[in-house]
Amino acid sequence: MNNILGNVAFYSRETIPTIELNLSSYITTDSMLPNKQGKCNSINLPPNSGTCTRFKKGDILVGNIRPYLKKIWFSDIDGGCSADVLVFKTNEGYLPNFIYYALLRDDFFVHAIKGSTGTKMPRGDKDHLLEFLIPDFDYAQQEKISQTLSVLDAKIDLNKKINFELEAMANLIYDYWFMQFDFPDENGNPYKSSGGKMVYNEELKRGIPEGWDVIKIIDQIKLDKTGDWGKEIEEGDYSLQVDCIRGADLNGLNGRGKVKLPNRFILEKNQDKLLSVFDIIIEISGGSPTQSTGRMAFLTDESFQRFKNPLICSNFCKAISLKNNNYFYNFVYLWNNLYSNGVFFGWEGKTSGIKNLLFDIFVNSYQIPEVPETLAKEFSVFVEPLHKKKQKLLLENSELESLREWLLPMLMNGQVKIK
């Protein structure tokens, strides 16, 4: 037996003064992550002179713009949200967490899309959403289903937190060693803080450790592989089945969201475009006013275990390999540091309104300190195990999410029952 959403939940009409909000408690459609990934912190706050919709811990928030993005979050804090985020509160007799899982199904977003209006920016119809069918289980069964699914989500969240800490550790080591130059000296002491000699470099306009040279980024690159989009189905000589990494997949590869690589078929003669261990994938086209091109992901043995087919990158990306893989992790963190500090905004051109990274000009021009190979290897010894652990947890999360997606509809339609 089913009930409609409008009989078990209602829209919040409470308001909160925007002056009471901060970046973590203000939710917009931009801070809600796609594919049921919850939310991140907002970039901007609304004007302090107004109010917005209030939500409380245990409410269900749904992005009402472009429903196919599947933006939904079960709130674990109190806060406020923009007008394009809907806040559902549950009626008495219904467990909020159960209603959240009932809406987490793909069926809910299909229902939202059918009732949406608009083309470029479709918006869900609020009355139509309330007609979505919710399983009418008693409270005890609601608790059992919620507890079962919550165990999976708790493990997924724990893995994400561990990966966040692992990444923070690696970034901290890179900052100490190669930005502050407090890498371990021959006695194991931090070089610069212990009085290691620094020499001002005229090309870099800053001090670097004595004995270090200056090189251009191109000096570390062996070759690059252009992308390939191939065809959607096998056709003629397009017979080599691959999974294609797009710019939109780079965050997922790095553990910040899901990865859904399109399956494509490329020419057999283009096998030289297949990606390998130690390849570094860089987005060279796209970006936005607040996000430059130049996003990057890298591949290790553990990365390939997450995918079934050989990998290529799309035409909007470029894959590079290094002359010396002892510098692999040093290069990865150097590039990410440049991206995080907005360096690539100054190396972009436009073609038909699309921003392109001037990759060749950049790598042939941009100068960096040449890290001694022994120090680069020592950095890898610290960082490589962190990334092995991270990739293992990403694979585990992918399996847990698949299990949840498989189990969820069967619990809701009664095919599977919990004793």
Give tens-digit pLDDT for 62-121: 999 999 999 999 999 999 999 999 999 999 999 999 999 999 999 999 999 998 988 788
For residue 13, what pLDDT band results from cuts at 50, 70 and 90? Answer: very high
Out of 5-9, 88-92, 245-249, 295-299, which region has the weakest mean confidence (pLDDT)? 245-249
Residue 123, pLDDT > 80, answer yes
Q: Write out the E strands in 152-300.
A: 198-201, 206-209, 213-216, 221-226, 238-245, 263-267, 280-283, 285-286, 296-298
Out of 284-288, 296-300, 356-360, which region has the weakest mean confidence (pLDDT)? 284-288
Contact 281, 228 (CB under 8 A): no
Out of 15-24, 98-107, 209-218, 345-354, which region has the weakest mean confidence (pLDDT)? 345-354
Give tens-digit pLDDT for 302-324: 889 888 899 999 989 999 999 99
Neighbours of 370 (CB within 10 A): 17
Please, which residues bridge with residue 3 across strands?
Answer: 134
DSSP of 234-256: -BTTEEEEEEEE-GGGHHHHTTS
- Taking the CA atoms of residue 329, residue 332, residue 335 and residue 338 in that order, the dihedral angle to the nearest 10 degrees is -70
| Strand 348-351 versus strand 317-322 pairing type | unpaired
The predicted model gives 413-418 an average pLDDT of 84
Kindly list the structural domains of the chain, giving each domain's residue range(s) and its CATH number in brackets, ordered by start: 2-134 (3.90.220.20), 137-178+371-419 (1.10.287.1120), 213-369 (3.90.220.20)
Contact 335, 282 (CB under 8 A): yes
Contact 217, 366 (CB under 8 A): yes
pLDDT of residue 125: 93
Distances (CA, A) of 189 to 179, 195, 379: 16, 10, 15
